[in-house]
Structure 1
Amino acid sequence: MVHTSIEHRRVSCRGVLISGCQEPYAQQASCLVDWCSRLLKMTVVADACASMLTQAKGEPISIGVSGGWGAGKSSLVKMIAARLEAPSVSAPDEGNKSGNTFVVLTFNPWLYQDFESARSALLQIVGDEIVRLAQENATIADKASELWRRINLLRIAQLSGGAALTLTTGIPVGALGKTFDTIAGLFPSTEKTGEMEVDYEGITAATDGLLKPKEPFSMPAHIQAFRDTLESLLAELEITLVIFVDDLDRCLPQTAISTLESIRLLLFIRRCAFVVAADNDFIKSAVKVHFDGAGISSDVATNYLDKLIQVPLHVPRLGLNEAKAYLVLLLLERETNAGTFTRDQFESALKLIPERLRNSWRGDTINQEFLYELVGTDDTFRSLMNLAEGLASLLHRSSAVNANPRLMKRFLNTVYLREALSAPQGIKLDIAALAKWHLIERCDEALAEALAGQVHSDNDGRLQILAEAENAAASKGQLPEPFKDNAFTRQWLQLPPALGTEDLRPLLHLSRDSGTRDFGDDNMMPDSRKLRDALKTATSSHQSLTDLMRKVGPDQTELAMLKAWQSCSTTRTWKRNNEILMLIECCKAFPVIGKKAASLLEQAPLKQVGPGIIPTLGAQAWASVVLERWSETNELTTPTKNAILNLNTRR
């Protein structure tokens, strides 16, 4: 007998028996799983599912719990099982006078992938449980043993590739014989040259006559005999076997389909029910992989699942209030584990938040006033509540997260990981700043990359364009490029703290898991930094600017010019003379850096270049080569190109 990882627990609750399994990844889940199930919208769905199982009164039924990755299918499965255990659902009443009880088995095919076939594992789990229950009833012990023997036969048939077995002669060496011999220790054999002899007397004894010499193995007959035996045992035990199948979307397509195929053996047996948790899109893809080459359509893949699932249920998406409650409790749980928030306070929050959600139809939302009452007057905890409020709305709105519980938890895990990495590196950042930056990384990667690309040592990590955007969002003004003018971006910009006036290099350094950061050289002298800042704001030529250039010399002037030019890239329109003033003034002081200035000018987006700057550039010797190249391209606007041609005419 192959040992399984199922650990049974028998819970007696007015005649109800519950058997369950301990999942290997259960350690990853905190106590939040239990209360999270109570506060999410899944309560109604779980009640409906448990009610259907109870009202079936032993009739076969299969229920599908569908939802995307991380939507909460496993949590919903646990809720349904818990309701079968509850007295209000499972206790015998006028509508359930048979004294029927539920035996719940959780089957996780992902555990057996690459170790044992899902079909064999499922049959053995069912057999283990029936034999265990039959031990308490001597009158059906023999029938339970017969069920086990039939399960062994079905497993042998699967290992042999489904071929008809006969024990009158040796089985040829090959796929059949080799696989048959893998049932180690149960059926001894001796190998000969070219063939394998099978000890059919040992097999006959082990199967107690179910396999007989000179009689072929009939798969249909034994499948029906297995089903009849199981149905009879369930009736005599007065139980309904409810099998929960979870984590199908973690499996390889072949394992997922094998599991669904194995369910067929137990479908439509009285007192046998299935609750299958799976992502419908994944199953459809797995069906297409399974029937690769057959050219089946999406409709056929859908029909395949519909034939197995009688009642489809969908895990509902979190509402805004629920997303907020989830984030609040995740944040408070961490503070509780850190010892800064008391256990009593946390237990109180676990009680009050679900109550608040149940009364949300009255207008009792998870608002700031309620959250402040939970945490008291401590400013640190209040700031966390403000963070939860801001994040919940954005994570609920974002299509990249879509209020997915698992993604929200992973989001906070990433934020806290970066916080843990900051201390050893001497970086001081609060959770709110880390969360705000990671939010834009997660939900608008293009904007995050655009902003990160503008962070350099030359501007001390501060982005003027970000500060302007935050101010514009607060005043409901027009957002500058590269910010998209949508609700998500505006709400993100207003999420505290403001980042536009902060040095973003520490944030970007900690987010190196999402991209490589290069902040450029930082070998500028103090006077060079002054020159850089002066060039960024200069609108006309003046002596103090020239004196500062003479003081730092050509090399540092070139570096200051480069940094100032890069820093102003997001605000440059290519239409005003003051935007190119820094190049002109630096080259006047040191003509040797004209080549560098020309290279910067050549990077211009030609369609944006306006005719107003052409006469000024035409007066600069270092810009003549660039203007000549521009005149030969068709990308310039007609007025700009005419302005260049007019320069040549004057010459």
Structure 2
Amino acid sequence: MWNDKESSVDYLHFEEIAFVAKNILEDESLRSTSIGIFGSWGSGKSTVLELIKNELNQKDEVIIICFDAWLYQNYSDAKTSLLETIQRTLEKEVSKVESIAEDVKKLGKSIFKLKNLLPLLSIAFGTATSIATGGVLPPISPALGSIETIIDNLEEQSSDSEIVEDIRKSFSEILNKLKKNVIVIVDNLDRCLPQKALETLEAIRLFLFLPNTSFVIAADVDMIKESLESVFHADSKHRNDYLDKLIQFPIPVPKLGLAEIRSYLFMLFAESHKLPSEQRERLREKLKVTVAAYEVGELSPLKDILDCLDAEQQEKVRPTFQMCDSISVLLSKIPTVASNPRTIKRLLNSFEMRKLISKNQSINLEDEVIMKLVLLEKIVSSQQMVNFYHLMKTDYSAFEKDLKILEQGKESQISPEQTKAIENLFGRGKLEEVSDLIVEWAGVPPHLSASPNIKLSAYLYRKAMALQVQYQRLSDTSLEAIRILSNTNVMYSANAKEIISRIPTNEIDSVMDEVIKNINNSPSWTKMNDVNGLCGAILLAENQPTVKEKLIDFFTHIDKTKNNVWIKTLIKRLRGK
């Protein structure tokens, strides 16, 4: 299986992005700059950052400082967390140079002052004070004493603007003495709540345009704009202005096309088959050429790609590569999967998990059949998958007949007979938007109607679904809540409200995650009523405010691709606007 970690090996052909970024950072006339690596969740931003780091690590005159914004999500103030990370890295760098070490200690003292001044201001004046963001700060320890004592302490402190200037001055002096370039790489802003994401960006502004200091920031632009609207109520013009002033060089991460998806599948399976590193590199270089060639021609034949490997390795990967070749076109068309490397990895992990269960239970389903069924789960909703397996179990002859009708493929459009077969297999839900995909899926080899063990796939599905939820060790109450909420389609459900009140506090997050997964598989988003389980998720968010932000974040991402008025209205409702 594959983890979600960023890769230092370029499977996605993003080297060109890293090369462009490296050249900007090494240009002497651009030594004080900011680069934005922009892309949606799971698009490969962290991998691009890793490739940039690999390029820069070869340079002795560069100090690289990495800041993972998500790690400091629950810290009281994300701004000072970034400042402290920079200060600690510089401290290690100059530990043997006494004169500069003193400057770094001075920088640390200024950051410490800033960190302690903000809460003092907050408690003394009854306001939530921060540098430019208006961030809400944590309560002050009673040990600080009375308001009079706090005001006395304030008189001994510098103002926040003076401290900020001290920080900038100390930092500049350190870099002048070091004669090195500092490059700060910021990742995982996407995973932060709006307030924390903006606090991190405000901290970056403290260092912008200082000599020999550059930033590389990975972010989802839409998420940042949404955060600006949420926290500052900024309009469209001001959201764009903010980003334009903060990021001098925006570099978008390109979406994966058919050739890139196919290439990515080949490389992931080459890794799982444990091909020798030299063979994998040979394959990677070959695929790089074929992806470029696809821009002006057709996909390279699988035989041409396999020819770059030794005969033994060819035979090892051939069946899996043939499977990847047959599904890549369909995979590139599935909206919930296409162009997102992280989602593709998770799909392959589902496939591998089913394979393990199949082998352990001696079910002996062909790999191609397992993969095809996993793909179907990304096209239709979870309820429609239940309908599919229910028909298979209760009336196999009708199931087989309908499958064969779909497996005939379509000509110019889907026939009435095929429309009826889709309804028979999946129920009468909203399927218009995915009918073409379903027929295309049915035509991908192998045909399920000809698989001798297809009936056993229902058992495999049930086991896999149970594992996906139960690996979290959820209580029976939470499992029941997931079932009820995922099938709640009215806002006045007594059953839903009753089960919500009984969910253990430490499992509410996990329940919302599972309900959102089911919503995400909804085949139709035209109207609010089309989305299975939406009302259940809203009820959970309104009755358990701790997970409301999670649902808002989900619909904010969905809104980027669906762009439906009802989604925007729902987001405003959840925010109480």
Contact 1:462 1:504 in 2 (8 A): no
Alignment CA distance shift 1:284-1:477 (3 Å): closer
Alignment CA distance shift 1:214-1:500 (3 Å): closer
The reply to whether residue 494 of structure 1 matches residue 429 of structure 2 is no
SS of residue matched to 1:242: strand
Q: CA deviation at 1:131?
A: 2.2
Contact 2:273 2:316 in 1 (8 A): no
Aligned to 1:466: 403
- The CA distance in 1 between the partners of 2:85 and 2:356, in whole Å, is 43
Q: How does 1:230-269 map to 2 (within 5 A)?
A: 230-269=171-210
- The CA distance in 2 between the partners of 1:251 and 1:351, in whole Å, is 36
Q: How does 1:503-522 map to 2 (within 5 A)?
A: 504-512=454-462
Q: CA deviation at 1:344?
A: 6.0
Alignment CA distance shift 1:506-1:66 (3 Å): same
Alignment CA distance shift 1:176-1:422 (3 Å): closer
Larger Rg belongs to = 1
SS of residue matched to 2:183: strand
Q: With structure 1 as the length reference, what TM-score do the two structures score?
A: 0.60
SS of residue matched to 2:218: strand
Contact 1:462 1:501 in 2 (8 A): no
Q: CA deviation at 1:124?
A: 0.8
Which runs of 5 or more residues in structure 1 are unaligned? 1-26, 92-100, 166-174, 182-188, 201-210, 517-651
Q: Give CA deviations for 1:408-442 in whole Å, capped at 9, x if unaligned.
A: 11111001111112233331112211111111210
Q: How does 1:394-543 map to 2 (within 5 A)?
A: 394-445=330-381, 448=385, 451-459=388-396, 462-473=399-410, 478=415, 480-481=418-419, 482-483=421-422, 488-502=437-451, 504-512=454-462
Q: CA deviation at 1:70?
A: 0.7
Aligned to 2:111: 151
In structure 1, give the amino acid aligned to 2:401.
Q
- The CA distance in 2 between the partners of 1:177 and 1:384, in whole Å, is 54
More moved, 370-379 vs 107-116: 370-379
Q: CA deviation at 1:318?
A: 1.8
Out of 52, 57, 71, the position equivalent to 2:24 is 52
Aligned to 2:260: 322
Alignment CA distance shift 1:512-1:321 (3 Å): same
- The CA distance in 2 between the partners of 1:317 and 1:214, in whole Å, is 54
Q: How many residues align?
A: 439
Aligned to 2:97: 137
Contact 1:65 1:278 in 2 (8 A): yes
Alignment CA distance shift 1:164-1:242 (3 Å): farther
In structure 2, give the amino acid aligned to 1:106.
C
Alignment CA distance shift 1:344-1:82 (3 Å): closer
- The CA distance in 2 between the partners of 1:404 and 1:357, in whole Å, is 17
SS of residue matched to 2:251: strand
SS of residue matched to 1:114: coil
Out of 103, 106, 115, the position equivalent to 2:66 is 106
- The CA distance in 2 between the partners of 1:197 and 1:344, in whole Å, is 68
In structure 2, give the amino acid aligned to 1:441.
E
In structure 2, give the amino acid aligned to 1:236.
K
Q: How does 1:348-363 map to 2 (within 5 A)?
A: 348-354=282-288, 356-357=290-291
Aligned to 2:35: 63
Out of 217, 223, 232, the position equivalent to 1:282 is 223
Q: How does 1:387-398 map to 2 (within 5 A)?
A: 387-398=323-334
Contact 2:38 2:253 in 1 (8 A): yes
- The CA distance in 2 between the partners of 1:333 and 1:176, in whole Å, is 46
Contact 1:375 1:382 in 2 (8 A): no
Q: How does 1:116-135 map to 2 (within 5 A)?
A: 116-135=76-95
- The CA distance in 2 between the partners of 1:177 and 1:113, in whole Å, is 13
Aligned to 1:301: 239
Contact 2:13 2:288 in 1 (8 A): no
In structure 1, give the amino acid aligned to 2:455.
R
Alignment CA distance shift 1:215-1:413 (3 Å): closer
Out of 298, 301, 316, the position equivalent to 1:367 is 301
Alignment CA distance shift 1:195-1:232 (3 Å): closer
In structure 2, give the amino acid aligned to 1:74.
S
- The CA distance in 2 between the partners of 1:349 and 1:222, in whole Å, is 54
Contact 2:41 2:220 in 1 (8 A): yes
Alignment CA distance shift 1:394-1:361 (3 Å): closer
SS of residue matched to 1:509: helix
- The CA distance in 2 between the partners of 1:474 and 1:177, in whole Å, is 64
Out of 179, 196, 208, the position equivalent to 2:140 is 179
The reply to whether residue 28 of structure 1 matches residue 3 of structure 2 is yes
- The CA distance in 2 between the partners of 1:476 and 1:54, in whole Å, is 55
Q: Give CA deviations for 1:18-41 in whole Å, capped at 9, x if unaligned.
A: xxxxxxxxx9357x9233x2x434
Contact 1:164 1:218 in 2 (8 A): no
Alignment CA distance shift 1:448-1:50 (3 Å): same
Aligned to 2:319: 383
Q: Give CA deviations for 1:191-247 in whole Å, capped at 9, x if unaligned.
A: 6xx67968x9xxxxxxxxxx9x95552221221121112112112211221111100
- The CA distance in 1 between the partners of 2:384 and 2:228, in whole Å, is 38
Using CA pairs under 8 Å that are at least 6 residues apart, name the structure with larger relative contact order, 1 or 2. Answer: 2
Aligned to 1:639: none
Q: CA deviation at 1:127?
A: 0.9
- The CA distance in 2 between the partners of 1:491 and 1:399, in whole Å, is 14
SS of residue matched to 1:456: helix
- The CA distance in 1 between the partners of 2:457 and 2:276, in whole Å, is 30
Contact 2:207 2:213 in 1 (8 A): yes
The reply to whether residue 82 of structure 1 matches residue 18 of structure 2 is no
Equivalent pairs: percent with the same residue? 26
In structure 2, give the amino acid aligned to 1:34.
S
Contact 1:157 1:163 in 2 (8 A): no
Q: CA deviation at 1:58?
A: 5.7
SS of residue matched to 2:450: coil
Aligned to 1:628: none
SS of residue matched to 1:500: helix
Q: CA deviation at 1:355?
A: 5.1
Q: Give CA deviations for 1:533-583 in whole Å, capped at 9, x if unaligned.
A: xxxxxxxxxxxxxxxxxxxxxxxxxxxxxxxxxxxxxxxxxxxxxxxxxxx
Which runs of 5 or more residues in structure 2 are unaligned? 126-135, 423-431, 467-577
Q: CA deviation at 1:403?
A: 2.4
Q: CA deviation at 1:394?
A: 1.5
More moved, 121-130 vs 353-362: 353-362
Contact 1:465 1:500 in 2 (8 A): no
Q: CA deviation at 1:491?
A: 3.5
Q: CA deviation at 1:73?
A: 0.3
- The CA distance in 1 between the partners of 2:445 and 2:310, in whole Å, is 19
Task: Give the aligned CA root-mean-square deviation in angstroms.
Answer: 3.7
